[in-house]
Structure 1
Amino acid sequence: MRRFVRVLVTLLVLALAVYLGWRLWHAYMDLPWTRDAVVQAQIVEINGDVSGRVTQVLVKDNQSVAAGALLFRIDPQRYQLALDKAQATLAEASTRLALRREQAARRAGLPAAAVSAEARSDAELAVRVAAEQLRAAQAAVRLAAYDLSRTAVRAPVAGTITHLRLRAGDYAQQGQALLALVEAKSYWIDAYFEQTRLRGVHIGEHARITLLGAHESLPGIVESIAPAIADRESQTGERLQARVRASFNWVRLPSRIPVRIRLLKNPNNFPLVAGMICSVRIEKKSQHQ
């Protein structure tokens, strides 16, 4: 009898272990999770539209700024002189056009015997040329005014200045990245799921994000799944043919697929920083309702 009880208890324990293992395996596969996830954010590079010496830097490192806030100034003197010259050229072109019109009108009013048809045609042509020169001068004034306005560099979006190294006296080249701005409310999660767990990940599903070192989990939603990843073994040989290795590694690890998760809430008492490590767990509908 005792032997029967021992056998029965052993079988029950074994059956319970198999059942728990089966449940854990299904939870592992049907509710995928990963510890390989990173907080990302949109980083806006602030470039100078014009070249010149930086005269003022009006922000500090890690400072939050609103969209349109003045960040720094580039020496405007050269661009002010260019605008003055363009305005003088515009005034000259306007005077020239008025003179050409007056000359054309005077010739048009003379009798045909007093002025030839060719002279009238030349006068009309001179008016058209002067009008085109005036339009070119107006465009030059607008361009010079635009360049002058771009010596005051402003934030294109709201965000936080990061890794500020720009100083007054630095020379800014046109198109050169001068400082970086982390756009506010642009944070998302890049979670890397093994391909064996990807069958349980679907666009629109809810997720829970836990930052390393934080005590609260954040809600998120699966926004997209990367359609392709790089193949490190792919090479092109001579004559544009595929180069395939004669052997491959017997230990084959599943590829990690990037999944983009949109944050629905920021942490309350924990700073959110791009580059932070976090864990992600996918939830089914019944879990987040």
Structure 2
Amino acid sequence: MGKRKQFIPKLATLGLLLVGLGSAYLLYQQYQSHPWTRDGQVRADLVRIAPRVGGYLVNVNVTDNQFVRKGDLLFRIDPSSYQLAVDNAEVALDEAREAVAALEASVKAAEAMVKQRETSVDSAKSRIVEAQSSIESAEATIKESEAGVTSARALVERTKALLEEAKREAARARRLADQKAGSEEIAEAKAASVNAFLADLEIAKAGEVKALATLAKTQVLRNEANARLAIAKDGLAEAHSGVITARAELQQTRATLGEPGDGNVRIRNARVKLEEAKLNLSWTEIFAPNDGYITNMDLLSGTFVTPGTPFALFVDSTSFRVDGYFQETKLKKIQPGDRALITLMGHQERRLEGEVESIGYAINPPNLANTEGPDNLVPTIAPTFEWIRLAQRVPVRIRLKEIPDDLHLVAGTTASVSIQQ
């Protein structure tokens, strides 16, 4: 009995030890199968609000930590100078359109001038053909007139010869008649024949004079035709020169114009400047990019803001999430889609539910060996402990399934995350 009484306390101690070991094993298995960490943070997308244009604030429609809806007007910068830029750009666009219209009219006028010069060429060619035809006609008439002059002269000479013959016959007949050897009638007839030949001679001389006048007149016509031909040739050369000049002016005017209509570079450039001015004017109003909160803001109307310089912070309320930083040895137990339980340090009594969205792909571990060294010559290796190696922590992104309306989430606050298998 004494030995049994001594064995019972030992058996109880052994049982308690086994229970403790079993509980520790179960806790270890749960820790291994349900990774958790107290190193978690509430995160949200933060937008540093900075103006795209500079100027004085004329409207500040929000206060610090105020909730705003997407599209709400937050700030307005004095738009007066930007509105003037829009007005100037509109005037410049109108001027560009007027300039293009004037150049288009110049192109049409130059095209009409080219057609007019080409018509002048055709007219000059017609005058040349007409003058050449007149010359040919005059040459033919001159030949006829010269033939007429030759014929008239031959007639005069023949009439003169006949007249001399008639005079001799009349003188002979008169002598015979005076000598009573011939008839008085014959003598008078011969005398009348002489008068007839004298009349014929006058007629022949008149014909010669007329033929010479006709020849002279025809020669004058030919000379006039030659003069007209020379003038027509000069006119043709001048018309050709005018066509060349008009075409060159047309090409220059077209080159100055460029593309007609609204596609002209002057109009396009003016339109771009107008759009730029309108864009700058639109940037004088700053709107909420999403539902969220304005924080870290201390501005009053009349403050001058500079382009690209943040003056307020916007917290996107639709992007609240939790990043849990797990040891790299636990990552094999975590998969996207796993259920996660989150406990906020400021709200220990509430537990939020989430889902693993993604696991980080890069970190910046401390004590990293610098293999570049000074001037890439000598590497600097930080010392490490060979007998212990600390696991690095990797961010795991947790998407919150539901956020209670009465829960005030603050980006950067601490949370604990437990992954449920």
TM-score by length of 2: 0.63
Distance 1:101 1:268, change over 3 A: closer
Structure 2 residue corresponding to 1:103, chosen from 98, 106, 118 = 106
Instruction: Determine whether 1:14 maps to 2:17.
Output: yes
Change (3 A) 1:2 1:260: same
2:311 maps to 178
Equivalent position SS for 2:322 = strand
Query: Which of 364, 367, 392 in structure 2 is aligned with 1:233?
Result: 367
Please tell me whether the aligned partners of residues 365 and 392 of structure 2 are also in contact (alpha carbons under 8 angstroms): no
1:43 corresponds in structure 2 to 46
Paired AA for residue 187 in structure 1: F
Name the counterpart of 1:125. Answer: 255
Contact preservation (8 Å) 1:60, 1:161: yes
For residues 196-222 of structure 1, the C-alpha deviation after alignment (integer angstroms, 9 at most, x for no partner) is 433332222101001113222111111
Secondary structure of the residue that 1:83 maps to in structure 2? helix
Which 5+ residue runs of structure 1 have no aligned equivalent?
A: 285-289
1:26-48 deviations in Å (ceiling 9; x for gaps): 11222111111110000112221
Would the aligned equivalents of 1:216 and 1:267 in 2 still touch at CA under 8 Å?
no
Shift of 1:129: 7.1
Distance 1:139 1:245 in 2: 57
Matched ranges for 1:147-162 at <5 A: 147-162=280-295
| 1:57-136 equivalence runs, <5 A | 57-110=60-113, 111-112=116-117, 113=239, 114-115=242-243, 116=245, 117-128=247-258, 131-136=264-269
What is the rounded CA distance, in whole Å, between the counterparts of 2:288 and 2:386 in structure 1?
A: 50
Alpha-carbon distance between aligned partners in 2 of 1:52 and 1:163, rounded to the nearest angstrom:
21
Match of 2:408 among 261, 271, 274: 271
Cα deviation digits, residues 222-257 of structure 1 (max 9, x gap): 112222221322223135354213554755433222
Alignment partner, residue 287 of structure 1: none
- What residue ranges of structure 2 are gaps of 5+ in the alignment? 118-238
- 2: distance between equivalents of 1:246 and 1:8? 50
Could you tell me how far apart the structure 2 residues matched to 1:150 and 1:107 are? 46
Matched residue count? 284
Q: Is the 8 A contact 2:68 2:291 kept in 1?
A: yes
Structure 1 CA distance for aligned equivalents of residues 381 and 98 of structure 2: 75
Letter in 2 for 1:256: R
Query: What whole-Å deviation, never above 9, does each CA across 1:89-138 have from its counterpart, x for those lacking one?
Result: 11111111111111111121122335521011112112217832122111
Shift of 1:148: 1.1
Say which of 161, 164, 187 aligns to 2:297: 164
Q: CA deviation at 1:268?
A: 4.5
Aligned to 1:209: 342
More strand by share: 1
Deviation at 1:267, TM superposition (A): 3.1
Give the greater-gyration-radius structure (CA).
2
Q: Sort the Cα spacing of 1:40 and 1:9 in 2 relative to 1 into closer, same or farther, 3 A.
A: same
User: What is the match of residue 207 of structure 2?
Assistant: none
Q: Kindly indicate whether residue 353 of structure 2 is the aligned counterpart of residue 219 of structure 1.
A: yes
- The answer to whether the 8 A contact 1:160-1:184 is kept is yes
TM-score by length of 1: 0.91
* Residue matched to 2:391: 254
Amino acid at match of 2:267: L
What is the identity, as a one-letter code, of the residue corresponding to 1:278? A
- Report the CA distance shift for 1:3/1:268 in structure 2 as closer, same or farther (over 3 A): farther
Quote how far apart the aligned CAs of 1:156 are: 1.9
Classify 1:247/1:46 alpha carbon distance in 2 versus 1 (closer, same or farther; 3 Å). closer
Q: 1:245 to 1:160 in 2, by over 3 A?
A: closer
1:131-178 Cα offsets, whole Å, 9 max, x none, are 321221111111111111111111222211111122222211122212
Change (3 A) 1:239 1:163: closer
- The separation in 1 between residues aligned to 2:86 and 2:302, in whole angstroms, is 23
Decide whether aligned partners of structure 1 residues 88 and 255 sit closer, same or farther in structure 2, where only a CA change above 3 A counts.
Answer: same
Within 2, Cα distance between the matches of 1:253 and 1:247? 10
Q: What letter is aligned with 1:227?
A: Y
Letter in 1 for 2:53: V
Amino acid at match of 1:128: G
- Counterpart CA distance in 1 for 2:399 and 2:73 is 30
Q: Which has the higher helix share?
A: 2
% identity of equivalent residues: 35
Root-mean-square deviation (Å): 2.0
1:238 alignment partner AA: P
